[in-house]
Amino acid sequence: MKAAARPLRHEDHGLLLGQLALVLAPQARTLPVAVSLLLVLLLGWRWLLWRRRAPLPSRWMLGVTAMLVLLVASALAWQAGGGVGRELAVALLGAFVILKLLECRALADATLVTQLSFYLLLTLYLSDQPFWLALYSLAIGAWVLRNWLLLHHPEARSKLAIWPLLGRMALLGLPWALALFVLFPRLEHPLWQLPQSAPRGTTGLSDTMRPGSVGQLIRSPEVALRAEVDGAQLLASALYWRALVLWDYDGTTWYPSRQRQQQLAPVPAAGTVPGIDYSITLEPSQQRWLFVLDRGQALSAGVEAAATPDGEFIARRPVEQRIRYRAQSTLTPAPGWLPPGTRRLALSLPAGNPRARALAAQWAETHADPAARVQAALRLFAAAPFAYTLRPPPLGREQVDSFVFDTRRGFCEHYAGSFVFLMRAAGVPARVVTGYQGGEYNPIGRHYVVRQSDAHAWAEVWLDGRGWVRVDPTSAVAPSRIEQGLDAAVGDEAAAWRPSQQPGWLQDLRWAYEGVVYTWQRWVLQYDHAQQAQLLDTLGAGARPGQLLAGALGVLCLLALVPLWRRRGPVDPLEAAYVSLCRLLARHGCDRAPAEGPQDFAARASARLPHAADAIGAVTAIYIGLRYGNVATSRRAESVAAMRAGIRQVAAALRTRKA
């Protein structure tokens, strides 16, 4: 329906300006800084005009401003490679809505701005869908609806309880929304892929390791993954979340073996092999590897990934959005035999570091058993003055020699890299493994929260008869790092945000919030085809989501009629009989006027339909006597029956005349 063309009041402009500012505020999370400043300038211009009650700009000035906005957008698109991504598209929409607000003079313009505000609210979900954003958008959406009602009906402010009305509307729509969300068939893949304006940066672990590379993540509080383990809570020493195996060393940096990463094999489906069952919610990393607990055995069937010979799980495409998968792992090494090519790879070393080579040769000569050489290296690191620190001194050109014999202060990558070098020099096949170690257990959500600050590097050595055995040299110098976490190991070096630095009540609030976030992600954001199928199996619906949805909507339709049925008061038989008489006469061309009394109506109907005049007069006399007379209650039912009989006589007379 077209809105009335009436001018807007000053307070109407204030409502529109305020709601648009609240709608655009969360866009600052994803928009470039230059674009956010442009939107702030446009909003500030409109606010100054409203504040000073100044006239709106001319069409010529708005046209020039629109051209400048397009020039800025073109420059940003050219800088991004010539494409218009979703961030720039959202920014253009927001800018032109503000420009529309700058020419908003009538109610029709205000209606368009309000409708576009809803579209801008929906664009908030194009990048991510955090829990707080859902609450924010619901609150702002209700505010926009309130403003819309006041724009069209200013008198509603004094005549209606607006917020209770909106609350009742939301409660009426909630069952429908839940039924459609839970039962509407879910797709395994999205219908479309939204374009990105530019590739997102890689977050988390890298596929290489050098001194300081892992330590750079220690100060990052960002969540890397959340894990929910079936059964009892695991010990902290068992929480090794494996990512990559590094084989090649050039004297500075450790690299994975590209050849071995190309030897991919299908991954067994979870539930087909024995092991620890758990679920992982992995945050976007723009990398292809998937994290598993220690030695992964299987993944859920819907995950498009393959396994390398080293127990790495590589996805078909980078993890660009949050994913959830089931997995199975074992905490014990698998015995077997080491192929000659793999043994040569696990013993290869670059030239250099003569002091470390001499020490390793001494261990090889002294200890015939490789396990004893491992223990000799661990005893070396456990002895002073080796220390675990987030601020290690710089290393010399021969990095292993410099660390083992000179600085002796480092982080996990220093100890893992030096240990593997010493083991290889001592004739023990060894490799570096990177991933995360530990994680905070949320007692409210009953899941582990693993952050980027839990990044870790450890080693694996090959022992005949036992296979690849995990050895964490960090545990020798700082056992508290493994048993109690990073906070206990670094002490005063921990960042202020770390849990050990927070009071108990703040930790409880944080766990409660983390539990809400995890529940939101698991049951709302990640409610996919597999979870829907599991829910339908639990309900006994099997593969019939459409039928169940139709039944649920049918029940809701019937329930929607309940308020209407309850509003109907008791039916007065006298009034019902008279209404039936009026309808009968209306079908024969004699309609009763709204304010026409029964006696006047009977006189007019008798004049129009003389062949039924006697019957109409008799029925009307009974009605007037019952409605306005003093008829005993005992005779009332008998009189109503007589009135109904008289109506049948009227109908018979009308039929006879028509025949």
For residues 423 and 404, give the distance between their C-alpha atoms in angstroms, rounded to a whole number: 13
CA neighbor of 253 nearest in space, from 444, 400, 377: 400
Distances, alpha carbon 507 to alpha carbons 234, 353, 499, 620, in Å:
21, 46, 7, 80
3-class secondary-structure state, position 139: helix
3-class secondary-structure state, position 544: coil
- What is the residue type of 191? L
Backbone CA torsion sign across 591, 595, 599, 600: negative
For residues 492 and 389, give the distance between their C-alpha atoms in angstroms, rounded to a whole number: 10
Give the distance from CA 131 to its chain's centroid: 7
Q: Which residues are catalytic?
A: 412, 456, 472
Q: CA torsion angle for 275, 277, 283, 285 (degrees, to 10)?
A: 10
- Report residue 114 as tokens: 């309000």
The string of DSSP letters for 387-446 reads: EE-SSPPPP-SSHHHIIIIII-EE-HHHHHHHHHHHHHHTT--EEEEEEEE--EEETTTT
CB-based contact 339:310 (threshold 8 Å): no
Counting Cα atoms < 13 Å in the Cβ hemisphere of 620 gives 18
3-class secondary-structure state, position 334: coil
Query: Which residue, chain included where needed, has tokens 């600050």?
Result: 453
- The pairing of strands 409-410 and 387-388 is parallel
Distances, alpha carbon 476 to alpha carbons 33, 429, 472, in Å:
47, 20, 8
For residues 659 and 656, give the distance between their C-alpha atoms in angstroms, rounded to a whole number: 5
Residue 490's H or E segment, with its range, is helix 486-490
For residues 110 and 47, give the distance between their C-alpha atoms in angstroms, rounded to a whole number: 16
Which CB contacts under 8 angstroms, 24+ apart, belong to 32-39? 32/76, 32/87, 32/91, 34/72, 34/76, 35/72, 35/76, 35/87, 35/88, 35/91, 38/69, 38/72, 38/91, 38/95, 39/91, 39/94, 39/95, 39/98
Phi-psi group of 584: left, alpha or beta (phi > 0 → left; psi -120 to 50 → alpha; rest → beta): alpha
- The pairing of strands 248-249 and 254-255 is antiparallel
CB-based contact 47:14 (threshold 8 Å): no
